[in-house]
Amino acid sequence: MIQESLPPVITIDGPGGAGKGTVSSRLAERLSWNWLESGRLYRWLGWRAAREHLDAGDEEALCGLIAGIQLRCAAGSRRLEIVGSPAFEVLADEAAADWASRLAALPAVRSALLPVQHACRLPPGLVADGRDMGTVVFPDARLKVFLTASVEARALRRLKQLNALGLYGSLNHLTQEIEERDERDRRRSVSPLRSAPGAWILDSTGLTADAVVQRIWEAWQAGS
């Protein structure tokens, strides 16, 4: 079967601020696999669309931007990124996240991004994090994790991340934005945020990122 010869994938889906990025990056490092942080694709698209003053509903122009995407491995890491991406600080702010969440609800955008994400399935394996990695993009992944945490814990983590990048925000405001974005990601008709059938639902509230990585790594070792 063709599927058998494809490199293995571990998917880590979940709401914003659940720790997917940190956990996926460390897991990819530990396994010496590639890492796709799919939220950055949506954030990049939002950033480009804003820069070029596109209309948030102009699917044709958005798909034109997607058609021009070229990927490479980020310097000194296992993360696959878009050639010409700006520094993460630019994509990390809440305005980019908001744009991303709106564009992510467009079916044409999601389907145009599918081949880009499939192209990331490179040997020896891929850790993919996002919202629909296990449900839509890599339904044949060998291990699917749905990482959650309480809204309060997620807002606090987001605040620390922003502070570390020299960006600021209020905890109340972040909590509210996270709740609104969660709601939009869950409610959209195409690829809504939900756990994949067979996914392992892992609540990271009160766990360190290393403890979460250790659990996932053990589950992978036990099943492979």
Residues 21-50 that bind ligand DC (CB under 6 A): 38-39, 42-43
Task: Considering only the stretches 23-31, 77-85, 99-107, 118-126, report the one whose residues sit in contact with ligand DC under the rule CB under 6 A.
Answer: 99-107
Q: Which residue has the tokens 């990390």?
A: 92
CB 134 within 8 A of CB 199: yes
Which of 62, 104, 116, 155 lies at the binding interface for ligand DC (CB under 6 A)?
Answer: 104
Q: Least separation, in Å, of the C-beta of 190 and ligand DC? A: 9
Total residues contacting ligand DC by CB under 6 A comes to 14
Residues 132-161 that bind ligand DC (CB under 6 A): 132
Which of 8, 19, 130, 134 lies at the binding interface for ligand DC (CB under 6 A)?
Answer: 130
CA Rg value for the chain: 17
Q: Least separation, in Å, of the C-beta of 52 and ligand DC? A: 19
Which of 100, 120, 143, 153 lies at the binding interface for ligand DC (CB under 6 A)?
Answer: 100
Cα 112 from Cα 192, distance rounded (Å): 17
Q: Say which DSSP state 203 is in.
A: E
The yes or no reply on residue 10 touching ligand DC (CB under 6 A) is: no
Instruction: Pick the closest to residue 206 from 172, 140, 142, 156 (CA basis).
Output: 156
Q: Least separation, in Å, of the C-beta of 136 and ligand DC? A: 8
Q: Least separation, in Å, of the C-beta of 92 and ligand DC? A: 8
CB 63 within 8 A of CB 109: yes
Instruction: Pick the closest to residue 161 from 93, 100, 209 (CA basis).
Output: 93
Q: Least separation, in Å, of the C-beta of 162 and ligand DC? A: 12
Cα 24 from Cα 18, distance rounded (Å): 11
The yes or no reply on residue 106 touching ligand DC (CB under 6 A) is: no
Residues across the chain: 224
Dihedral (C-alpha) 108, 114, 117, 121: value to the nearest 10 degrees? 180
Task: Considering only the stretches 57-65, 73-81, 125-133, 195-203, report the one whose residues sit in contact with ligand DC under the rule CB under 6 A.
Answer: 125-133
